[in-house]
Amino acid sequence: MNVRIMEEKIVKIIMYLSIAIVLGSLLLVFSMVILKGIDFLNFDMITKVPDGGYYLGKGGGILNAIVGSLYLAGGAIILATIVSIPISWYLNQSNKKSKFTEFVRLSLDVSCGIPSLIYGAFVFLFLVSFHQRAALIWGIVTVAIFIIPILVRAMDEIMQTVNRDLKEASYSLGATEFETLKNVITRQAMPGIVGAIILAFGRGIGDAAAVLFTAGYTDNIPNSLFDPVATLPLAIFFQISSPYPEVQGRAYASGIILIIIVLLLIVISRIVSKRLMKYVIR
Partner 1 sequence: MEFKNIFFSRQNINSLVRKGLFVPTFLSALIFIAIAVVLLVKSIPILSMYPITDLLFSSIWKPMSGDFGFLPFIMGTLWVTILSMIICIPISLFCALYLSEYAPKRVQITIQPFIDLLAGIPSVVYGLFGIILIVPLIRDSIAPFFNITSSGYTVLSGGIVLAIMVFPILISVSFEVFQAVPFDMREASLSCGATNWEMVKHVVITAGYPGLIAALILGFSRAFGETMAVLMVVGNVPIIPQSVFDPAYPIPALIANNYGEMMSIPMYDSALMFAAFILLIVVIAFTVLSKYMLIRIKARLGS
165, 185 Cβ separation under 8 angstroms? no
160, 92 Cβ separation under 8 angstroms? yes
Q: Which is nearer to partner 1, 48 or 182 (CB)?
A: 182
Nearest CA among 45, 73, 49 for reference residue 136: 73
Single-letter code of the amino acid located at 105: R
Distance CA 172, CA 257 (A): 52
Q: Which is nearer to partner 1, 130 or 224 (CB)?
A: 130
Q: Which is nearer to partner 1, 51 or 270 (CB)?
A: 270
Nearest CA among 231, 254, 9, 12 for reference residue 116: 231
Q: Which is nearer to partner 1, 53 or 115 (CB)?
A: 115
Which residues are CB-neighbours of 162 under 8 A, at least 6 positions away?
Answer: 184, 185, 188, 189
CB of 114 to partner 1, least distance (A): 6
CB of 24 to partner 1, least distance (A): 10
The number of residues in the chain equals 282
CB of 76 to partner 1, least distance (A): 15
Distance CA 158, CA 272 (A): 16
CB of 226 to partner 1, least distance (A): 20
Q: Which is nearer to partner 1, 162 or 235 (CB)?
A: 235
CB of 196 to partner 1, least distance (A): 13
